[in-house]
Structure 1
Amino acid sequence: MTASPDPRALDRTLDALARQPFRARFRLRGRDRATAELKGPATIRWHAYDLIARRLAPARPHKDGKQTPYRGHPVFVAQHATATCCRGCLERWHGIPKGRELTRAEHMYVVDVICRWIEREMTGGTPGGPGPARPG
């Protein structure tokens, strides 16, 4: 089993992504936020693992670049916010090359990035931040 990345390293990555106007506009709202609250972190982590296995981990994902909806599950929103939505973004932002299946460590890294973003959204949008997420 691989160790989880340092949360501070994940926060630095997420902070850099949040400075990009396209990525910064994503927030957990409405049903997606309610789903995250209702299901809880452990179930959302399992959903992220499963969705990444089916939609992103293959060497050539079906409809790559268009496979991730913008809404419908907190993981989908997080994928766009964290540049883990397609293999092109994964390569550009996270240095994980296209054209080959994700390794187990890469798969777990993507899940960790997604779950850390959701955790930050649910706790105020910043590392360890108090209060509810910013309204949007």
Structure 2
Amino acid sequence: MTREDALFQRLAQSPFRRRFHLGAKERAYCLAKGPEVIDRHAADFVAQRLAAAEPVNDGKQTPMRGHPVFIAQHATATCCRGCLAKWHHIAAHQPLSEAQQAWIVAVIHRWLVGEMNR
């Protein structure tokens, strides 16, 4: 089992994480923009909102709605540094590496693909 498979298995056991799903508006947005654009949005959000050692408003920086990536971040526990530490074993209080940022985007991408294929 891959690290990603193990993560998604654990996330599936969380009633809180399981409750997130894309609505019709977010699905339409994903279809209109395509996966490459959505992945770029995810990478930008991660770089702007999570990558710093001490992100501004940490724990509250990711809205619950408004963009498919935001919903995916809550579903995959990539919404704040506390969740990244707990679920992904990415230590808080230090900047995210490029590899860590790529991991987060890959996890978000996988969740979105799963939602679009539901």
**Which residue is 1:101 aligned to?**
95
Unmatched runs of 5 consecutive residues or more in structure 1: 1-5, 124-132
Q: Match of 2:78, as an amino acid? A: T
TM-score scaled by structure 2?
0.95
Aligned residue pair count: 118
Q: Return the match for 1:37 from 21, 31, 37.
A: 31
Between structures 1 and 2, the one with greater helix share:
2
How far residue 48 of structure 1 moved from its aligned partner, in angstroms, is 0.3
Q: Which has the larger radius of gyration?
A: 1
For residues 39-60 of structure 1, the C-alpha deviation after alignment (integer angstroms, 9 at most, x for no partner) is 1111100000001000011111
Unmatched runs of 5 consecutive residues or more in structure 2: none
Contact 1:49 1:107 in 2 (8 A): yes
Q: Return the match for 1:86 from 80, 87, 91.
A: 80
| Percent of residue pairs identical | 52
How far residue 38 of structure 1 moved from its aligned partner, in angstroms, is 1.0
TM-score scaled by structure 1?
0.83
Q: Match of 1:32, as an amino acid? A: E
Distance (Å, rounded) in 2 between the aligned partners of 1:39 and 1:14: 25
Q: Match of 2:12, as an amino acid? A: A
